[in-house]
Chain A
């Protein structure tokens, strides 16, 4: 046993091998999450709606994602006439790849992180923005009126919700004094009273900041009640309307990967990352428990609320979230100066 651990330790210290291992692990993590979050979503939706959800394939429908995947992959990949072929084909990749890349810098625990970068937070935020570009290009490239209408929505929704999110994150950066996510989490270890969520010494508005972050995460990942980009009863399927087979599948996987990233970010910035709420046994399990709780909230909200309108969405951002996040930023800097 000790020899095996010894060898694993050796492998992990060879940088290229370690990176390969992490790459494989991250892709598996992303794929498994995308597949099983769909099942989770359908199960939760089922129970919310007095149904059972998928149950035929495997015990509790656990093989349902496999069946879905096979179905999607065996479908014909349709390319409508008159599209922009390069944009149309590149868009699903542009949505999916940044989602995987963001995981590179996310610290799952004290030791499990592919690359502990000093600008980790910046990397995640930068990659998160590319996702929207992919949606925009895909919608533009499909030459469909519904898709183009949703492309316009993608852009303004992205701009409107990026600002309060970034301003909120800047407040956190000021508190922690670092862009390194490992450092940010390390400062919150020890118990839930250390979390940034309850860090009212830094700013009285911190719980509100978490709420802003959570709402922005819903909007950035196009989840209900902000799913205006996909808006089924208005725009049929938004940017995905002309996509079939795995082209659609990639968009779908990317959507769930982005939810995971959003949950990871919220956990790291506000909920103390891998730290235990009571200060015992910190580790990757706490991190996973926290992100899945957040993801469950996201699913729960989707099946409970109707969709907002577009002006409702913009009003919420420009009239409520952005002012509150700026007040939080100013308050944080003032309180940091005073104390």
Chain B
């Protein structure tokens, strides 16, 4: 591949991929320098959907900022809810009831599965297969219905509160979730047979799009991207938060570093999430879902706090600096896809355009989360 780059002559041209392109899933723009269909240079250009969420965090009170967190990553909104309430609770010293923690885990994991399902459908669509998207959305619909019944929204959830969650889960949700876990296992088998084992899918994914472990460390890539490169790191296991240490689940790690490895990590993660949901539903304790004496006005102590959770795309961090007043002095998100996208420029050099777009698909980009 590098031989092609060395032969670089003046026959190259600049291709503007995006901000309106079917493969960029949103408003990402990539400036590509191409030699025929080979990529010589790639530069992602951001800023088309910047909404100043971090600045808003400085102007709004702690509780007022909560709905904002769902607007960053529209696919795994509950992870953003989770990291925000966790950070503020730690800063303000608020205890969370056990039941609330379990509910948080169950809903966040359901949300993770729905996020992976959207990725799965959209990624296969990037490869040119249109039908799996509709099947993935059919499954996702079940999750959205479950979550809608208890959170009140289908996409931009604002469900977690400081000291618990806004609403208790009922028997209908529990039986519905159990039915979903059972259904989803069968569907995952179907996806394995129909999509993963398809000869064209295998040919397009195996040994294509290498992202090495060094590259991941260099750019700070986390989540399924890093785990597909053999880095065994999952915030849920290595920097535990909430009640995750109480569950028995595996961290899928693949060492092939190619598109297939990242694909398989996500497919396996869905299975592990199902296991977590099952265990959490079994162990669900009784008690309050929201701290009865949860403070109306939260005023965290002065200081600097960092909290990380594992979102569907990787390690999601939030740093809050509090001066003890009604709102944050500074609020900084560390969103996983921003780091994951950063390595695209290096990883795609010398690749053919379709393969590079497949590689971009495995990064699972959600643009509003990159451009906050």
User: Which residues in A have some Cβ–Cβ distance to B below 8 Å?
Assistant: 45, 48-51, 145-146, 149, 152, 224-225, 227, 231-234, 236, 303-312
Whole-angstrom CA separation of A51 from B141 in the bound complex:
14
CB-defined contacts of A48 to chain B, threshold 8 Å: 131
Cβ 8 A contact of B354, one of A45, A49, A305, A309: A309
B2-10, B46-54, B102-110, B195-203: which lies at the interface: B195-203
Judge whether A306 and B198 touch: CB under 8 Å: yes
Task: Known A-B contacts: A231-B128, A234-B357, A304-B131. Give 20 more (CB < 8 A).
Answer: A49-B131, A50-B138, A231-B354, A232-B22, A232-B128, A233-B125, A233-B127, A233-B128, A233-B357, A234-B353, A236-B21, A305-B128, A305-B198, A306-B127, A306-B129, A306-B198, A307-B127, A310-B352, A310-B354, A312-B203
Whole-angstrom CA separation of A335 from B287 in the bound complex:
84
Q: Which chain A residue shows the least CB distance to B205?
A: A306
CB-defined contacts of A236 to chain B, threshold 8 Å: 21-22
B135 within 8 A of A: yes
Whole-angstrom CA separation of A48 from B130 in the bound complex:
10
B276 within 8 A of A: no
Smallest CB–CB gap between A112 and chain B, Å? 37
Segment 106-141 of B: residues with Cβ below 8 Å from A: 124-131, 133-135, 138
B323 within 8 A of A: no
Whole-angstrom CA separation of A303 from B133 in the bound complex:
11
CB-defined contacts of A303 to chain B, threshold 8 Å: 130-131
Smallest CB–CB gap between A318 and chain B, Å? 16
CB-defined contacts of B126 to chain A, threshold 8 Å: 233
Chain B contact residue count (CB 8 A cutoff): 29
Q: Which chain B residue shows the least CB distance to A153?
A: B37
Whole-angstrom CA separation of A146 from B134 in the bound complex:
28
Given A305-B198, A310-B352, A310-B354, the answer on whether A49 and B37 have CB atoms closer than 8 Å is no
Q: Which chain B residue shows the least CB distance to A227?
A: B128
CB-defined contacts of A224 to chain B, threshold 8 Å: 128
**Interface of A (DSSP majority class):** loop
Judge whether A149 and B131 touch: CB under 8 Å: no
Judge whether A306 and B128 touch: CB under 8 Å: yes
Cβ 8 A contact of B200, one of A50, A234, A305: A305
Whole-angstrom CA separation of A145 from B17 in the bound complex:
11
B145 within 8 A of A: no
Judge whether A225 and B200 touch: CB under 8 Å: yes
B23 within 8 A of A: yes
B15 within 8 A of A: yes
18 intermolecular pairs with C-beta atoms under 8 Å apart: A49-B131, A50-B134, A233-B22, A233-B126, A233-B128, A234-B23, A303-B130, A305-B128, A306-B128, A306-B204, A307-B128, A307-B129, A307-B354, A308-B200, A308-B203, A308-B204, A309-B354, A312-B200
Judge whether A225 and B352 touch: CB under 8 Å: no
Q: Which chain A residue shows the least CB distance to B208?
A: A309
Smallest CB–CB gap between A158 and chain B, Å? 17
